[in-house]
């Protein structure tokens, strides 16, 4: 355990300009699609226009005959991978499924599923060649909705998929891949003790991560089998592992260089293009660049699940929750592996409950395989539970924050999913939200206020970093975590805090897979915690070396040297006997005192410390159009310790706004043939600047003793509360309980009219 008392530090907690900033404001930063390799050619994909079909024949002859076409690949060019569970990315994945998701084999399972790819000397030739490939399909019945797909008579996606987790092994295949259950206490007794019980079913639409940068890579497969990949991803080691497995290569044969990444939010924790580009490159003998267009991103890459969640909660009139129960069905997309498990684990975690249960079903349907999206699963289940909590607070006549305070999880609370919480700041976060000046603002007609809370685990895991002291006393810090939102800054700040030098003297870089030790991907809100721990350990080791060098120069014991403010000082009996030596002095003498000064650390960090968020939103409802305007937004969060507060606030604001989009506008819309109808930013509407007010943040610092400076993960929990907070605010404004996302104008208007409180009714 570290001493993480909240004392003022020299660097940690300040707001320096990020070290990679200038490149990013002058257009010089190299993102995935900006990378070039000598002699590279250009790839394009052929995608299924059907939601579900058997592939009868693929005729590539016209494409192969085109001038400028250098390679064509189909599933025949990839090994047929056997079923094997993998935990390389952020969620569960089977290598066989990943291989077939990358390139359809036998059947296509969703609109946008890749069936072939080409590489040619120009983008226009590659696209024309892709269009000339003729695929003969036998169209099969399809199913999109999770409840429909779970029915016994639904079109079956996989003949060999049998529901796991049932008491008796089923004899017939199903689209339900898995049933899971978490249970604690005695539900029946809990509900019997309740004075009020609320019960309702909620539904969320599938939404896309909608990072602005489409997937992009350039890859070369050399004649000697050595491969180079430059790409935008959340983990260069993840890309390397997946490419090796899917192409049957040794890991040592592949070197992956992380480009800058233009947003990910979980969506870039899988491979889509890289193995295709390598396979094309192998055939063509040239490097191949592939960049998706926006339509391909929407049709072919992982959105998150849509879900149906039935929730029942009971409480006594004094506000004590006596029992809570939820049953949820999550869309996994075409292959098993929705985030229903975290959905089940998170949705009641904010409460200290004696009796609780969650049951989850993982359901495949004819949609793209889901990928992680910021706190995967939690927003879907928590929309339901936090809406129900609001309803229950109203039933018993309690303020929604006081009701949450009365039941809040605290140190010592044993969560439904197992662990006992320690060093958590939910109560402080609730109190901070309650005391925020925004809550004193008076509301006008058609305006309402809503509250919701949220939980996310945060993870640690494997990370590596190395710190090299340069000859002039500056430093280079190499870590294995792609910088998706300013993490280079926080890494450099932690190292410079320990070294006692100015942060501008530490140059942080993100290493490729051959220049830094293994590092799990940027996800799970893990980088500042886990990679930060590796950075601190490497830096502490460097300080130890520096003290040893000073001891050698002074000819005193190493223990008699102190390191502070970037200098070695003689301590104890020797105090004052020698002039202090600066880092630059010691660096200049390195050759004569033992050689280069450097250290590396590889860790498997544990004890990330969960994140807690409480959001309060004020809305105004236009009863005529059903439009919801966000008037004020307050997001309070337990952040452990903010290393660079601006980027912590940025995570909270960005997550909250993604949640606002999820709540009000975003959804996948399918036509009757199962084709995606809104695969573009015009029709899939993410929030824009004019939709929003300021997003006010409150950072609560309850330090995490498992991190050298007390940091907790901050990136994910802010997307958990917004949907319920907005639904609760709409209820407060109108008396109408919205149970289905998005709460878009047509849906809200219909609900208001149905309840007799719409403009149409008011006008009559």
Partner 1 sequence: MAKTHVTCTINGEEVEYLCEPQQTLLDVLRDDLGLTGSKEGCGSGDCGACSVIADGSLVCSCLMFGSEADGMEITTIEGIATADKLHPVQEQFLKHAALQCGFCTPGLIVATKALLDKHPNPTDEEARYWLAGNLCRCTGYDKIMNAVHAAAAQIRGETV
Q: Is 223 in the site for partner 1 (CB under 8 A)?
A: no
Q: Which spans in 435-531 are helix H?
A: 487-499
Strands 254-258 vs 227-231: parallel, antiparallel or unpaired:
parallel
Q: Is 155 in the site for partner 1 (CB under 8 A)?
A: no
Interface stretch with partner 1, choices 30-38, 154-162, 194-202, 361-369 (CB under 8 A): 30-38
Q: Is 316 in the site for partner 1 (CB under 8 A)?
A: no
# residues contacting partner 1 (CB under 8 A): 60
What DSSP line would sit under 180-212, residue for residue? EEEEES-HHHHHHT-SEEEEEEEEE-------S
Q: Is 67 in the site for partner 1 (CB under 8 A)?
A: no
Binding mask 603-642 for partner 1 (x = CB under 8 A): ----------------------------------------
Residue 169 burial by CB count (10 A; 0-12/13-18/19+): exposed, middle or buried?
A: exposed
Q: Is 66 in the site for partner 1 (CB under 8 A)?
A: no
CB of 268 to partner 1, least distance (A): 10
Enumerate residues 6+ apart whose C-beta is below 8 A from 520: 235, 237, 238, 461, 462, 463, 526, 530
Enumerate residues 6+ apart whose C-beta is below 8 A from 133: 46, 58, 59, 60, 62, 63, 72, 116, 118
566-575 b/e (C-beta count within 10 Å ≥ 16 → b): bbbbbbeebe
Binding positions for partner 1, 381-440, rule CB under 8 A? none
Task: In whole angstroms, give the CA distance from residue 321 to residue 356.
Answer: 10
How far is C-alpha 616 from the geometric centre of its chain's CA atoms? Answer: 23
DSSP letter, residue 528? I
Interface stretch with partner 1, choices 77-85, 243-251, 608-616, 674-682 (CB under 8 A): 674-682
Q: Is 669 in the site for partner 1 (CB under 8 A)?
A: no
For partner 1, the closer of residues 524 and 758 by Cβ is 524
Q: Which spans in 712-757 are helix H?
A: 722-734, 745-754
Q: Is 68 in the site for partner 1 (CB under 8 A)?
A: no
CB of 293 to partner 1, least distance (A): 5
Interface stretch with partner 1, choices 17-25, 149-157, 548-556, 582-590 (CB under 8 A): 17-25
For partner 1, the closer of residues 447 and 658 by Cβ is 658
- Give the helix/strand (H/E) hosting 761: helix 759-763
Task: In whole angstroms, give the CA distance from residue 211 to residue 549.
Answer: 48
Task: Determine the 3-state secondary structure of 476 from DSSP.
Answer: strand
Enumerate residues 6+ apart whose C-beta is below 8 A from 29: 20, 23, 260
Q: Is 656 in the site for partner 1 (CB under 8 A)?
A: yes
CA distances from 708 to 467, 529, 532, 669, 703 (A): 17, 9, 8, 46, 10
CB of 692 to partner 1, least distance (A): 6
For partner 1, the closer of residues 578 and 681 by Cβ is 681
Interface stretch with partner 1, choices 12-20, 164-172, 378-386, 745-753 (CB under 8 A): 12-20
Binding mask 199-218 for partner 1 (x = CB under 8 A): ----------xxxxxx----
Among 1, 25, 223, 763, binds partner 1 (CB under 8 A): 25
Task: In whole angstroms, give the CA distance from residue 621 to residue 372.
Answer: 32
Binding positions for partner 1, 458-487, rule CB under 8 A? 484-486
Q: Is 294 in the site for partner 1 (CB under 8 A)?
A: yes
Q: 201 with 310: CB under 8 angstroms?
A: yes
Among 61, 124, 222, 226, binds partner 1 (CB under 8 A): 124
Binding positions for partner 1, 682-701, rule CB under 8 A? 682, 686-692, 694-695
Q: Is 509 in the site for partner 1 (CB under 8 A)?
A: no
CB of 686 to partner 1, least distance (A): 6
Q: Taking every pair of C-alpha atoms in the chain, what is the biggest distance, in angstroms?
A: 95
Q: Is 303 in the site for partner 1 (CB under 8 A)?
A: no
Q: Is 28 in the site for partner 1 (CB under 8 A)?
A: yes
Query: Which residues lie near partner 1 (CB under 8 A)?
Result: 15, 17-18, 20-22, 24-31, 33-34, 123-124, 209-214, 260-265, 291, 293-294, 484-486, 644, 646-647, 649-651, 653-658, 680-682, 686-692, 694-695
């Amino acid at each position: 355990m570290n001493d993480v008392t909240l004392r003022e530090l020299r660097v940690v907690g300040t707001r320096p300009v990020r070290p990679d900033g200038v490149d990013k404001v002058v257009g010089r930063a190299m993102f995935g699609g900006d990378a070039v390799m000598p002699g590279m050619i250009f790839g394009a994909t052929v995608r299924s226009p059907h939601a579900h079909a058997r592939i009868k024949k693929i005729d590539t002859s016209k494409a192969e005959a085109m001038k400028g076409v250098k390679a064509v690949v189909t599933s025949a060019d990839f090994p047929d991978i056997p079923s094997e569970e993998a935990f390389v990315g952020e969620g569960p994945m089977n290598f066989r499924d990943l291989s077939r998701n990358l390139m359809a084999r036998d059947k296509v399972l969703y609109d946008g599923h890749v069936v072939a790819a080409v590489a040619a000397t120009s983008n226009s030739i590659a696209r024309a060649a892709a269009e000339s490939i003729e695929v003969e399909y036998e169209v099969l019945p399809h199913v999109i909705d999770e409840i429909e797909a779970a029915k016994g008579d639904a079109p079956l996606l996989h003949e060999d998929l049998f529901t796991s987790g049932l008491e008796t092994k089923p004899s017939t295949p199903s689209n339900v891949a898995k049933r899971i259950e978490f249970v604690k206490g005695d539900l029946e007794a809990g509900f019997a003790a309740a004075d009020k019980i609320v019960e309702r079913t909620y539904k969320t639409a599938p939404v896309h991560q909608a990072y602005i940068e489409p997937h992009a890579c350039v890859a070369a497969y050399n004649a000697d089998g050595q491969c180079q990949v430059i790409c935008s991803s959340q983990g260069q080691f993840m890309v390397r592992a997946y490419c090796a497995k899917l192409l049957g290569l040794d890991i040592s044969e592949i070197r992956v260089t992380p480009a800058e990444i233009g947003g990910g939010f979980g969506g870039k924790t899988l491979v889509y293009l890289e193995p295709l580009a390598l396979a094309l490159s192998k055939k063509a003998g040239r490097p191949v660049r592939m960049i998706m267009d926006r339509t391909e991103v929407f049709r072919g890459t992982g959105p998150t699940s849509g879900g149906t969640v039935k929730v029942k909660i009971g409480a006594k009139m004094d506000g004590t929750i006596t029992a809570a129960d939820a049953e949820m069905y999550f869309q996994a997309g075409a292959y098993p592996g929705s985030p229903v498990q975290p959905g089940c684990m998170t949705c009641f975690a904010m409460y200290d409950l004696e009796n609780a249960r969650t049951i989850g079903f993982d359901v495949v349907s004819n949609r793209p395989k889901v990928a992680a999206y910021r706190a995967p699963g939690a927003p879907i289940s928590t929309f339901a539970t936090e809406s129900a909590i609001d309803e229950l607070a109203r039933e018993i006549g309690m303020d929604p924050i006081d009701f949450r305070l009365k039941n809040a999880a605290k140190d010592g609370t044993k969560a439904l999913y197992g662990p006992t919480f320690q060093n958590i700041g939910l109560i402080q976060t609730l109190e901070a939200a309650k005391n925020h000046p925004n809550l004193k603002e008076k509301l006008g007609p058609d305006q309402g206020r809503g509250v919701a809370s949220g939980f996310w685990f945060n993870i640690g895991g494997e990370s590596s970093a190395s710190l090299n002291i340069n000859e002039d006393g500056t430093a280079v810090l190499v870590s294995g975590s792609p910088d998706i939102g300013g993490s280079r800054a926080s890494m450099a700040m932690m190292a410079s805090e320990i070294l006692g030098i100015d942060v501008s003297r530490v140059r942080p870089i993100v290493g490729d897979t051959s220049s830094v030790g293994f590092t799990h991907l940027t996800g799970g809100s893990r980088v500042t915690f886990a990679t930060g721990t590796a950075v601190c350990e490497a830096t502490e080791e460097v300080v130890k070396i520096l003290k040893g060098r000073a001891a050698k120069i002074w000819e005193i014991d190493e223990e008699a040297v102190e390191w502070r403010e970037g200098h070695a000082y003689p301590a104890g009996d020797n105090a004052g006997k020698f002039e202090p030596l600066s880092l630059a002095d010691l660096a200049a003498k390195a050759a004569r005192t033992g050689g280069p000064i450097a250290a590396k650390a590889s860790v498997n960090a544990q004890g990330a410390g969960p994140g807690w968020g409480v959001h309060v939103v004020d809305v105004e409802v236009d009863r005529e159009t059903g439009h919801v305007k966000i008037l004020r937004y307050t997001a309070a969060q337990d952040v452990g310790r903010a290393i660079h507060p601006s980027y912590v606030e940025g995570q909270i604001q960005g997550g909250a706004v993604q949640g606002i989009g999820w709540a009000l506008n975003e959804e996948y819309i399918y036509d009757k043939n199962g084709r995606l109808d809104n695969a573009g930013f015009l029709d899939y509407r993410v929030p824009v600047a004019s939709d929003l007010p300021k997003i006010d943040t409150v950072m609560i610092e309850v330090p995490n003793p498992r991190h050298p400076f007390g940091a907790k993960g901050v990136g994910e929990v802010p997307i958990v509360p917004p949907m319920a907070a907005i639904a609760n605010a709409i209820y407060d404004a109108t008396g109408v309980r919205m149970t289905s996302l998005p709460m878009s104008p047509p849906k809200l208007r219909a609900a208001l009219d149905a309840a007799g409180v719409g403009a149409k009714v008011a006008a009559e």
